């Protein structure tokens, strides 16, 4: 997406905005994944503890995303909101594309 912004829009602001938009999705999601995988190391986890753990990391993910969006005005020079938001939407939809792609993979059963 960033390369597309670079090719279509000649301004540097759009390219940096697209990169920051992708980071606004990827960094909090990686934080959530790291927190959730850490819980798998424990031998026995009760359902209520697992639910609380998921809710905690999900709220933290949302908070980091909102903080990154608020900081975009200060961090990205010549901020282009359309480039940032379109890149965020495309990055969020990649999860669904990955799930659809995974569902199409067939295994050979002998």
- The tens digit of pLDDT for each residue in 64-88 reads 999 999 999 999 988 889 989 999 9
More confident residue, 18 or 63: 63
pLDDT band at 63 (very low <50, low <70, confident <90, very high): very high
Q: How far is CA 3 from the centre of its chain?
A: 18
Residue 71: CB partners within 8 Å, gap ≥ 6? none
Q: How confident is the model at residue 2 (pLDDT cuts 50, 70, 90)?
A: low
pTM of the model: 0.75
Q: Which residue has the higher pLDDT, 92 or 107?
A: 92
Percent of the chain predicted with pLDDT > 90:
35
CA atoms of 15 and 47, how far apart (whole Å): 44
Question: Which of 21, 14, 53 lies closest to 35 in space, CA to CA?
Answer: 53
Task: Report d(CA 95, CA 31) in Å as an integer.
Answer: 16
Residues 8-30: tens digit of each pLDDT: 655 677 888 989 999 999 999 99
């Amino acid at each position: 997406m960033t390369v597309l912004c670079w090719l279509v829009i000649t301004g540097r602001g759009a390219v940096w905005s697209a990169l920051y938009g992708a980071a606004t999705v990827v960094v909090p999601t990686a934080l959530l994944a790291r927190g959730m995988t850490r819980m798998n190391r424990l031998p026995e986890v009760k359902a209520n503890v697992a639910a609380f753990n998921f809710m905690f990391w999900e709220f933290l993910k949302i908070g980091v995303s909102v903080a990154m969006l608020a900081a975009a005005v200060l961090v990205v020079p010549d901020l282009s909101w359309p480039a940032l938001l379109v890149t965020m939407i495309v990055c969020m939809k990649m999860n669904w594309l990955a799930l659809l792609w995974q569902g199409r993979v067939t295994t050979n059963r002998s």
